[in-house]
Amino acid sequence: MATSKVWFITGASQGFGRVWTEAALKRGDRVVATARNPRALDEVAGTYGDAVLVLPLDVTDRDAVFQSIGQAQRHFGRLDVVLSNAGYGYMGAIEELQPEQIKASFDTNVFGTLSVLQAALPILRAQGSGHILTVSSIGGIIGFPTGGTYTATKFAVEAMSEALAAEVAAFGIKVTIIEPGHFTTGFRAAVQSPPPIDAYNAIRQAIRSSFKPEDFGDPAATAAAIFKAVDADEPPLRLALGSTTIAKFKAVYQSRLSNWEKWEAVSNAAQGRQHA
């Protein structure tokens, strides 16, 4: 029987974080589950006892992130899977967005993720092993109208994670970017938005109308996909979740390729003359 894995999960109290925390524990792994509201995990702690360590953590507190990851490593002796999941949506048309709310969103989604990575990496390098999972989104590939700051943060997570994967491969550390499509996690209800400008109401309504009930998947079904990735000898750099997600990604990339090809002559001419 394979040795159980030790997970460190941020944003573990609700949504995907809660689903993946409980699923990992159910399969016999051990989990350090962190959340801004640790009391929300009382039931999980009561059910799984010594297999779970619940810690309070706001990922915007960099010192607390380092302390939590250090405590996690000392408690269970190692870290096998570091899952940076904490994040939220701040969405609106670009003209509507408020600078202080933009900064708060980046502080959680991007700089919170960065703190988790920087705290975990020395431990994983010393072990010569470990798997980092960063949670992106369909909005990490597709910058949709009124996606605002949320898509910008997820594009940043994608870029940071891709760079990281190449940096740490030689140390035995693996990196996978999780890209969920639409799921019934309660995410949309928790989205924050700035005061609307009426001029953008039509595009806002068009975006909302494009989300069909049948597009939303069951969050519980994603755990099996996450386990396939963390158990793989050669896990993917990117793991999309949802039956419509990859089709949407392909359409976006086909559009990008078409755009580049259409303007290729102009792009090539911008090289200028080559010096002999």
Of 3, 11, 4, the residue nearest 178 (C-alpha): 11
Helix-helix angle 222-231:15-26, to 10 degrees: 60
Amino acid at 19: V
Catalytic residues: 136, 150, 154
At 111, is the secondary structure helix, strand, or coil? helix
Q: What would the 3-class secondary structure string for 74-99 be?
A: HHHCCCCEEEECCCCCECCCHHHCCH
**Distances from the Cα of 99 to the Cαs of 96, 102, 106, 115, 219, in angstroms?**
10, 5, 11, 22, 32
* DSSP secondary structure, 41-57, as one string: GHHHHHHHGGGEEEEE-
* Cβ atoms of residues 191 and 91 within 8 Å: yes
Contact 89, 192 (CB under 8 A): yes
Rounded CA separation 221/270 (Å): 48
SS3 content of the chain, % helix, strand, coil (to 5): 55, 15, 30
